[in-house]
C-alpha cells in the first residue's frame, strides 16, 4: 500500500475489509517518519507505544465485530497546538516543552470517539503566530517541494505530514490562513470550517489559552483528498456541549448535483490583494479548464471595500491574539488617529490595545461585511479566489514576520500580506476549501480557495471535489515518492 498516495477514506475501507490491520498501518507510518522526518522535521512528538496499544485494541474489536466509527483504527496526527491527553502539547514554546495535558481538545476527543488512533504531534510556529513553521524548541519544518522553502504556517507541518505520507489525516487551526496557506504551499487539501462549527476548546495558543473559542479561529482538516476532508469534518462538526452530551449539527447538502449546476464567481485581481503573475497564471489556467468543462463562471466579487475589510480583520485579529508587545505599540499609536496612508496591517496593533467600544464598532463592521457576503451568495454558490500572493517562500528562521518581505513579481512587499486573501474570508466567518490546481514554472504547488456560504460547508467541499476531477493537479512531492 502506497502511503504517500493512499487517502484516509481508502485506508478506512481497507481496514474495514481486513486487507490491512491498524497495527500494520501504524507501523508503516512510523517507518516513513523515521525515514523522512529527519529531512522535513514535521513530527515533533511520537507516541508510538500507546498508539500501538490503541491500534491493537482496534484490531481486536473488529475481529469481534465491534466497529468503533468512521475512523476505526486510522492513525492520525494532530498539530502541536491542540491538547492531547497524555501526549506532550507545547504550542511551540520552550517554556512548555514538557507540558502534558490531562484532557483532549474537543476536536481531538471527537476524532478518538470516531475510532482514530492519535499517534503524533506536528510542528508549528510559536503560539501558531507566523506564516512559516519555525520555533526555538523544535526548529524549522521544510517544504518537501523545496527544502529551502517554508510550508507556510501555522499548520505548516500538518500539511507536510500529509504531503509526505507521514499520517493518514491531520487536524490544524486557521485564524489567518493557517490551514489554507500550508495546503496551497505544499499541494494538499485543506478546509477552513465555518466559524463556530467546530469547538475550539483545547486550542493552546498562549500560556493561558485553551479555555474558550478564539475569535475568527477555526479548527479543520488537512488531507490527501476532498473525501478525506469531508470524513474528518463529519466528525469534528458540532457545537461545544460544555461537558454535557455531544450536540449534533446537520449541514445543508451541496447546492448543486453537478459542476454545471453551480453558479461560480471568480475573483483573481484586486489592488489591495497582490498576486504574483506565476501564481495568477496557474489559477487562470484552472479557471479556463473549468469553463471548458461546462462550468458557469463569472468574474464577480462581493461589493465590499477591500481595504476597509482588511483593517477590520487586522483589528479583530489583534484583539484576538495580540501580544503584550503589540498592545504596547498600539497604546502609543492610539494617540494619533489612523491616516489614509497607514498600512491596513497597522490595525493589528491598534486592535491589540483597543477598548471594548472600538471592538464593538469593529464587530458591527464585520456584521455588515457578512451581510454583503450573504447577498453575494444568493447570486453565486461559491467564489474562487487565490489563497496567497505567491507560491512557497524561503524559510527565514528567527526572523520576525514584521521584518520579512515577499517578492511579488518585481516588487518587494511586507510578508504579512501573505494572509490578506485568507483574512477577508476568515473575518466573515465563511467556510473555505483549498484544492491544488497546478504547479508554477519553477515547480511549486498552487491551490485555489473555494469560498462558500456560512454554515454551508458541504458546498465548497463539493465544488472543490469537482474542480479536482477536472484539473487533476494533485501530486506527491518527489521526496515522498522516493520514500
Active site residues: 79, 154, 178
How many C-beta atoms surround the C-beta of residue 435 within 10 A? Answer: 30
State how far the Cα of 452 lies from the Cα of 457, in Å rounded to an integer. Answer: 6
Residues 6 or more apart whose Cβ sits within 8 Å of residue 273: 306, 386, 389, 420, 421, 424
Burial class (CB in 10 A: 0-12, 13-18, 19+), 360: exposed
Cis, bond preceding 154 (omega within 30 deg of 0): yes
State how far the Cα of 399 lies from the Cα of 69, in Å rounded to an integer. Answer: 44
State how far the Cα of 62 lies from the Cα of 133, in Å rounded to an integer. Answer: 38
Q: Are the beta carbons of 293 and 258 closer than 8 angstroms?
A: no
Cα-based distances in Å from 365 to 131, 310, 374, 428: 26, 11, 14, 10
Q: Pull the grid cell for residue 339.
A: 491616516
Specify the DSSP class assigned to residue 206.
S
Amino acid at each position: 500500500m502506497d502511503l504517500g498516495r493512499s487517502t484516509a477514506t481508502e485506508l478506512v475501507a481497507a481496514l474495514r475489509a481486513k486487507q490491512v490491520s491498524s497495527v500494520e498501518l501504524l507501523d508503516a507510518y512510523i517507518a516513513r517518519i523515521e525515514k523522512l522526518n529527519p529531512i522535513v522535521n514535521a513530527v515533533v512528538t511520537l507516541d508510538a507505544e500507546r498508539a500501538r496499544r490503541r491500534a491493537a485494541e482496534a484490531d481486536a474489536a473488529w475481529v469481534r465485530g465491534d466497529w468503533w466509527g468512521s475512523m476505526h483504527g486510522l492513525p492520525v496526527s494532530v498539530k502541536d497546538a491542540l491538547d492531547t491527553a497524555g501526549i506532550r502539547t507545547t504550542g511551540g514554546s520552550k517554556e512548555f516543552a514538557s507540558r502534558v495535558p490531562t484532557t483532549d481538545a474537543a476536536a481531538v476527543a471527537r476524532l478518538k470517539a470516531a475510532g482514530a488512533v492519535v499517534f503524533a504531534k506536528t510542528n508549528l510556529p510559536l503560539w501558531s503566530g507566523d506564516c512559516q513553521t519555525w520555533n526555538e524548541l523544535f526548529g524549522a519544518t521544510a517544504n518537501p517541494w523545496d527544502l529551502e522553502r517554508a510550508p507556510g504556517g501555522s499548520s505548516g507541518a500538518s500539511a507536510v505530514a500529509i504531503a509526505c505520507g507521514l499520517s493518514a489525516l491531520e487536524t490544524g487551526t486557521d485564524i489567518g490562513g493557517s490551514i489554507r496557506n500550508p495546503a496551497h504551499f505544499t499541494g494538499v487539501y485543506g478546509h477552513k470550517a465555518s466559524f463556530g462549527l467546530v469547538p475550539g476548546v483545547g486550542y493552546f495558543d498562549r500560556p493561558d489559552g485553551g479555555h474558550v473559542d478564539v475569535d475568527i479561529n477555526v479548527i479543520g482538516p488537512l488531507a490527501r483528498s476532498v473525501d478525506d476532508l469531508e470524513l474528518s469534518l463529519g466528525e469534528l462538526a458540532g457545537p461545544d456541549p460544555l461537558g454535557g452530551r455531544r450536540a449534533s449539527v446537520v449541514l445543508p447538502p451541496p447546492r448543486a448535483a453537478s459542476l454545471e449546476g453551480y453558479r461560480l464567481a471568480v475573483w483573481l485581481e484586486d489592488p489591495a490583494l497582490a498576486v504574483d503573475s506565476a501564481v495568477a497564471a496557474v489559477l487562470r489556467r484552472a479557471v479556463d479548464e473549468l469553463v471548458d468543462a461546462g462550468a458557469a463562471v463569472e468574474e464577480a466579487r462581493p461589493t465590499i471595500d477591500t481595504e476597509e475589510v482588511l483593517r477590520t480583520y487586522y483589528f479583530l485579529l489583534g484583539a484576538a491574539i495580540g501580544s503584550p508587545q503589540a498592545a504596547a505599540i498600539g497604546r502609543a499609536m492610539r494617540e494619533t488617529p489612523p491616516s489614509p496612508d497607514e498600512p491596513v496591517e497597522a490595525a493589528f496593533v491598534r486592535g491589540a490595545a483597543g477598548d471594548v467600544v472600538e471592538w464593538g464598532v469593529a464587530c458591527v463592521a464585520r456584521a455588515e461585511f457578512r451581510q454583503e457576503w450573504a447577498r453575494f451568495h444568493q447570486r453565486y454558490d461559491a467564489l474562487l479566489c487565490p489563497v496567497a500572493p505567491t507560491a512557497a517562500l524561503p524559510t527565514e528562521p528567527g526572523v520576525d514576520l514584521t521584518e520579512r518581505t515577499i517578492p511579488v513579481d518585481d516588487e518587494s512587499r511586507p510578508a504579512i500580506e501573505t494572509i490578506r486573501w485568507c483574512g477577508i474570508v476568515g473575518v466573515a466567518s465563511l467556510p473555505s476549501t483549498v484544492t491544488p490546481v497546478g504547479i508554477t514554472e519553477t515547480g511549486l504547488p498552487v491551490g485555489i480557495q473555494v469560498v462558500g456560504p456560512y454554515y454551508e460547508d458541504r458546498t465548497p467541499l463539493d465544488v472543490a471535489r469537482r474542480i479536482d476531477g477536472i484539473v487533476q493537479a494533485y501530486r506527491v512531492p518527489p521526496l515522498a515518492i522516493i520514500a
